Chains A and B, each alone.
Chain A
């Protein structure tokens, strides 16, 4: 069974994940990184866990989904700006430092999350467990419409920035020379990334390596610095990967392995190859 809403959700997630990854690579001047590697998704799960812990599972469950989504997204934007804006300024030319800090952030967020989950009442735990793992089989379709609206609005903003993104990807000094303000651009791009990550994590939970594979493949298929092309190619590759992968899993492998596991395995390998290639160069 492959319902329309599920298909739509997968496309929304593909678009959110691929675009946020491309944006993060542009703003960090680094093509082997993705928001999820830096801990953006983990941050989202942590925020939800905190909400359950402090409000109590019972209160949390009766809150309207829309309210939870909107508030989490707002907090997510503020937290991402606080954590990542200084890091991006300082680590422009220091790829390893950026990745290392990201891995530490991600691990920290996950540790705090599991700490909270341990001290939470087991009954309430079920509320969060659903949000902590990637799940393409059981998607929160209640949120689909609002997620889609947010996504479309954000994608429109990104599309209108496409030429500025080209210039930002040239690096700080060159962007300044060409009349763009990289600091202001970084601020807005981080906001957009936070929104995309909120959308995809709310729908299917954290997916760590999907964005990295998708954007890397898109760069191979369309080797250009222009975001007008890269935004489209990575969205298409993302949609094909997710929808195709899920179809394959359901029809051919009869769901014995979750798609997220396969994607994270392949993506993890790709990441490792890039990292090793980068070190040797």
Chain B
């Protein structure tokens, strides 16, 4: 009986002197695994043009019907993409999204990736409809593709 008690307390004592792994969020943050699926990004080519051509394959692949795309034709003088077609509107409703990554898999252009950002709280439902300007990476990230 005493033996068991000692064993139990031993576990407790052992843990007492271990380094705790509670993370002091939000002061401290965890590094996510490479294949973690968080908030989406829309990527750019090396030359800064958008990769997304507005084909809507992500939207049709999405099991949660979270994506809305409206395509349009490029102005040849100031093209947004390499071809004729680009996404004039690109929206994801993050309240619907289940972060399954199907959109990423469906995209023929490597244009959409789920990145590591998981901090998606807000006070307003409308704020969860992420529009293209929120999703598209900045020009400084031209050519960036997450490694999977």
Does A associate with B in a complex?
A: no
What is A's interface to B at a CB cutoff of 8 Å?
Answer: none
